[in-house]
Amino acid sequence: MGYKSEALVAQAREVREALGLSQRVISERSGLTQSHISQIESGKMEPGLSSFIDMTRVLDLELTLVPKKLLPAVLALVKTQATPDMMIHTGQSNDKRYTRAMRLVGKLKQDRGSSADLDKIEEYVRFLRRVDLSDQQMQLVRALIARLERDHGRPDAGPIIRDIAQNMQRLRNSVAHGVSSEPKPAYALDDGDDGA
């Protein structure tokens, strides 16, 4: 699954679970097969836009395009106007997620032996736990931790663990150095444009 869609799929899954809805119920209400939903949530399949919209509408969520410069205002508005029944931010507190991730990394080191990738994940989780992340950055952290929990037992988990470490490193670098984790174009037609 793509780096960018992982956080959205993880958030949709969290909302589904917080609402107590099974994949089967989502399947019945969206017209998608339960197998399709399972493959999307497990990261085995990249969701098509129309499938993802069908899934999220069942969860009473709406996808919309927002101008990049207005995103902080929109996120602040959503945060202040959301009621507990809206399930905008669901699941465990972030601190519990970090604790779970550290525990899992410790277990993996015990089972597989220490590795540079596991050491990096441990280092980045410690760092990210201490800083104030934006909602979008926290969604990415949640998605990466969920992926580690879901895929760590697979026989081919080495490349997955490496990818998680690399994504956490990019996020840590963007937070530590105050730069966007998105690649910048080599040139721009308008020097005054922030890339938005």
**Average pLDDT, integer, range 94-123:** 85
Evaluate whether residue 77 is within a structural domain: no
Total structural domains in the chain? 2
Q: Is the same domain home to 116 and 173?
A: yes
CA 29 to mean position of chain CA atoms:
24
Evaluate whether residue 111 is within a structural domain: yes
Per-residue pLDDT at 87: 43
Listed residue (59, 64, 65) closest to 41, CA to CA: 59
Could you report the per-residue pLDDT of 55-79, keeping only the tens digit for each? 999 888 888 888 988 888 887 777 6
Per-residue pLDDT at 154: 80
Evaluate whether residue 183 is within a structural domain: no
Identify the H or E element spanning 83: none
What pTM value is reported for the model?
0.48
Could you report the per-residue pLDDT of 176-190, keeping only the tens digit for each? 776 544 455 555 555
Q: Is the same domain home to 99 and 150?
A: yes
CATH code of the domain containing 29: 1.10.260.40
Q: Is the same domain home to 126 and 65?
A: no
Q: Is the same domain home to 35 and 67?
A: yes
Evaluate whether residue 15 is within a structural domain: yes
Listed residue (51, 139, 56) closest to 90, CA to CA: 139
Tell me which range, 28-32, 128-132, 155-159, is most confidently predicted by mean pLDDT: 28-32
Q: Is the same domain home to 116 and 161?
A: yes
Q: How far apart are CA 77 and CA 80, in angstroms?
A: 5
Evaluate whether residue 79 is within a structural domain: no
**Average pLDDT, integer, range 8-24:** 84
Q: Is the same domain home to 53 and 107?
A: no
For residue 40, what are the domain limits?
Answer: 3-71
Could you report the per-residue pLDDT of 25-47, keeping only the tens digit for each? 999 999 999 999 999 988 888 88
Q: Is the same domain home to 147 and 116?
A: yes
Evaluate whether residue 86 is within a structural domain: no
**Average pLDDT, integer, range 107-119:** 86
